Amino acid sequence: MKNKNTMGDVQALLVIMQRLRDPVHGCPWDQQQSFETIAPYTVEEAHEVADAIQRNNMPDLRDELGDLLLQVVYHSQMAAEIEAFCFADVVAAISAKMRRRHPHVFGSESELAAGKPDWEQMKVAERQLQSDADNSVADDSALAAISIGQGPWLVAHKLQKKASKVSFDWPDAKGVLLKVHEELAEIEEAMLAFEEAPNADSEAAIEDELGDVLFSIINLARHLKLDSGNALQKANRKFETRFRFMEKEIKAQALEISALSVEQLEQRWQEAKRETQKSS
């Protein structure tokens, strides 16, 4: 790879975003956006980066990282417009944080000799300093500093991991698996209750029990040292591969998938499973 003028490229991107947001000559769509409207795109781009990594597709990863960088530039530009902070402040803040959290790399001789610090303790100290600066009460809970904006799957994993650090956890995966079965039984009870008395309360009970099932499944994945997001992503791809195969076979016979019975579809699905397993 050739050396490139990275700073110049970043500056060019900042100018592009300034132009897009220009109240007179900018893009009408970009002019109307806010932190709230752009936030979903930021999350989406992060997921697309993860997807490119999962597929080991480097050209796609390059493009998706560019899209994610654009999100940082976008939020920074909007912040600059209200004089909150700018892109340079974002870079300075993360640079300072990385140096601060890696004293064993960037610190004094004594810090270098001490080795890698306890990051959790360091984060607690940082939160205390921030609360002192804001003149607010520090959150001293074991579950502090978990952002709900990270997505429910990741939040569940982090809640469980933090609780585990203070010994609030199952000793092994077997206990969690029993909990999964317990939660499945409870959602089955809730579904039966809804059939007997369909109302807002019984419907809400199903949703509540479903949440417990999902939370337990994520906990099981954590105990098995598996990434629940990756596992679900693989299941998504597996389903798509099998469905597309089944769909293609049905169309080849001049049939409509929606015209087949449940039994016929199940037979086709099992055939698709067998055939796609052979090629995988």
pLDDT tens digits, residue range 186-205?
999 999 999 999 999 999 99
Contacts of range 220-224, beta carbons closer than 8 Å, 24 or more positions apart: 220/173, 220/176, 220/177, 220/180, 221/157, 222/157, 222/160, 222/161, 223/170, 223/172, 223/173, 223/176, 224/173
Burial 130-144 (b: 16+ CB within 10 A, else e): eeeeeeeeeeeeeee
pLDDT of residue 107: 81
Architecture of domain 6-85: Orthogonal Bundle (1.10)
Domain boundaries, the chain: 6-85, 230-279
pLDDT of residue 31: 97
pTM of the full structure = 0.64
* Dist CA 219 CA 223 (whole Å): 6
Task: Give the residue ranges of the chain where pLDDT is below 50.
Answer: none
* Contacts (Cβ under 8 Å, ≥6 apart) of 280: none
* Dist CA 80 CA 22 (whole Å): 12
Q: Are 152 and 159 in contact (CB under 8 A)?
A: no
pLDDT of residue 1: 57
pLDDT of residue 67: 97
* Dist CA 113 CA 121 (whole Å): 18
pLDDT of residue 135: 67
pLDDT of residue 250: 96
pLDDT of residue 7: 72
* Dist CA 61 CA 9 (whole Å): 18
pLDDT of residue 132: 63
Four-residue CA torsion sign, 60, 61, 67, 70: negative
Q: Are 38 and 75 in contact (CB under 8 A)?
A: yes
CA angle, 56 as apex, 54 and 60 as ends, to 5°?
A: 95
